[in-house]
A and B are shown apart, each in its own frame.
Chain A
Amino acid sequence: MMNCEQATRLMSDGRERDLTIRERAAIKMHNLLCVGCRNFNVQVHDLGRIARRYAKEQGEETTNSIRDSTGPSSKE
């Protein structure tokens, strides 16, 4: 069976290329027994979503701090 280093590498690669059926099966087998890698498999995609929201949130952060300092805004 794969170790966690190999399993997380494949899960990370899964965002870069299509995994083979064999690779996907190996991940599934591994994750059946490994809660850490199961969590990593979710977080690897979370990281992508976080990065994507980064600039957008930076903008909203500024808007919110302005809104907080000026009272509720009527307009969204």
Chain B
Amino acid sequence: MGESVLPGEAPVEQSAASHLTDPVFLDDLRRQMLKFAVLQLDNEVQAEDAVQEALIGALKNVASFERKAALKTWVFAILKHKITDLLRYRQRWVDVEKPSDSADDETLPSVFDTRGFWHQEDRPNRWAQPVEAIDDAHFWRVFEVCLEDLPPAQGRVFMMREFIELDSDEICQSIDISASNLHVLLHRARLRLRRCLEEHWFCEEAAS
């Protein structure tokens, strides 16, 4: 991802169509999309299909995209829609892998003492860098690692809620859990994520 993919004399602005025939870009894009789709769908086959369809959809309408960033954002938007459709469709199926009561199985990160107050070392510190100012590729790798580190049910609902931006009702319906279970999962996901980011990113920032 960090390595240069174009020789120095190549034009900076390529057409979007040529991006989609650039094997390095395409491999990279596909890998990121797949990672995202697997996290959401928890099913490799469906994830592969969704990514494939999103890429085909992108190829059909590629002419209007002149920058890779715009293209990529747009391909991800298509993928989001595919995933949303799949998740909505699933709720009509028998709930084979329904995670309904899993909220109770997943232990709260041990950031609180027995009285429910922060352990000293786990108390949130102020993040020195405003989120809007983050401009570092490394941060997004840290974020990915932290996401993958979440228990799967927590990671999935967090991304459905905050990335795909489904509202609570839609999430509850699509994966068939109660609102209170969802809120428990989100609370735990947020506690873990923020701790992970602080430990691996914001803390280093403060120290440097």
A19-43 interface with B by 8 A CB criterion: 34-37, 39-40, 42-43
Q: Which residues of A contact B8 (CB under 8 A)?
A: 69-71
Contact B165–A8 (Cβ < 8 Å): no
Chain B residues lying within 8 Å of A61, measured Cβ to Cβ, are: 1, 137, 140
In the complex formed, the residue of A with least CB distance to B163 is A51
Q: From DSSP, what is the main secondary structure of chain B's interface residues?
A: helix
A50's closest neighbor in chain B, by CB?
Answer: B131
Question: Which residue of chain A lies nearest to B132 when distances are taken between CB atoms in the complex?
Answer: A49
Chain B positions within 8 Å of A5 at CB level: 108, 112, 116-117
**What is the size category of the interface that chain B forms with chain A?**
35 or more
Does B125 contact A39, Cβ atoms closer than 8 Å? yes
Known interface pairs A40-B124, A65-B137, A66-B12; A55-B5 also in contact (CB < 8 Å) = no
Q: Specify which chain B residues have a CB less than 8 angstroms from the CB of A37 in the assembled complex.
A: 118, 124
Q: Mark B96-127, 1 if CB is under 8 A from A, else 0.
A: 00000000000010001001111000011111
**For B72, what are the chain A residues with a Cβ–Cβ distance below 8 Å?**
55, 58-59, 62
Task: List which B114-172 residues lie within 8 A (CB) of chain A.
Answer: 115-118, 123-127, 131-132, 134, 137, 140, 143, 158-159, 161-163, 165, 168
> With the chains together, A75 CA to B69 CA distance in Å?
13
